[in-house]
Amino acid sequence: MEVKRKGMLLVISGPSGAGKGTLAKRLLEDDPSFRFSVSATTRGPRVGEEDGVDYHFISDDEFQARVDTGDFLECAVVHGHRYGTPRAEVLSSLERGENMLLDIDPQGARSVAAAMPDCVTVFILPPSYEELRVRLHTRNTENETEINRRLGNAKGEIDQLGRYQYAIVNTTVEEAIVQLKAIVAAEKQRTIRFFPVIPEKS
């Protein structure tokens, strides 16, 4: 008997500075069954970000053209910029049995959960609002205006926590990654992911 597996769609969200990016990177490094869904965005690249790796950095016009052709599984305006998840990449990976990791905001997570109810949703919380402020300043990737915009949006994002299946408080990356891997390990074993192929008797 052959046992086929369907890929898992893992959606992580959380306010900017909660540490989603770091946790996502760790999971991708440690678990080769996962692929990262590279979103398209109209925001400009930060220092160190690579086109096609971190995001597909595209213009407003190109983004709109891709919306019009139905290229995105979901898209949303986040912190004043447009972000979208490419549909074809996600669906083809899942069909091949690969697990897909999406780092998207709560609006996007809601759309994905409606379209693909078997997805796994995890919300990453900072240990405190103050710590979020400190992390956003320390990582030094946004200017003061952008930091304040992100802190201002954090409360609204955290209000969406109840829509997620799991929550992780990211006090330290080492603790949080253990918890994320535990969620992933259990979710991999759900019966919905298995397709036993039983040969017909000759």
CB of residue 190 to ligand 5GP, shortest distance in Å: 24
Closer to ligand 5GP at the Cβ: 105 or 187?
105
CB of residue 155 to ligand 5GP, shortest distance in Å: 14
Q: Characterize 91-105 residue by residue with b for buried, 16 or more Cβ atoms within 10 angstroms of its Cβ, and e for exposed.
A: eebbeeebbbbbbbb
CB 22 within 8 A of CB 139: no
Sign of the Cα pseudo-torsion (47, 48, 54, 56, in order):
positive
CB 1 within 8 A of CB 197: yes
CB of residue 130 to ligand 5GP, shortest distance in Å: 20
Closer to ligand 5GP at the Cβ: 65 or 186?
65
In the block, residue with structure tokens 């299946």: 165
CB atoms within 10 A of CB 88: 10
CB of residue 49 to ligand 5GP, shortest distance in Å: 8
- The site for ligand 5GP (CB under 6 A) is made up of 13, 16, 39, 43, 74, 76, 78-79, 83-85, 103-105, 107-108
Which residue's CB comes closest to ligand 5GP? Answer: 108
Closer to ligand 5GP at the Cβ: 113 or 177?
113
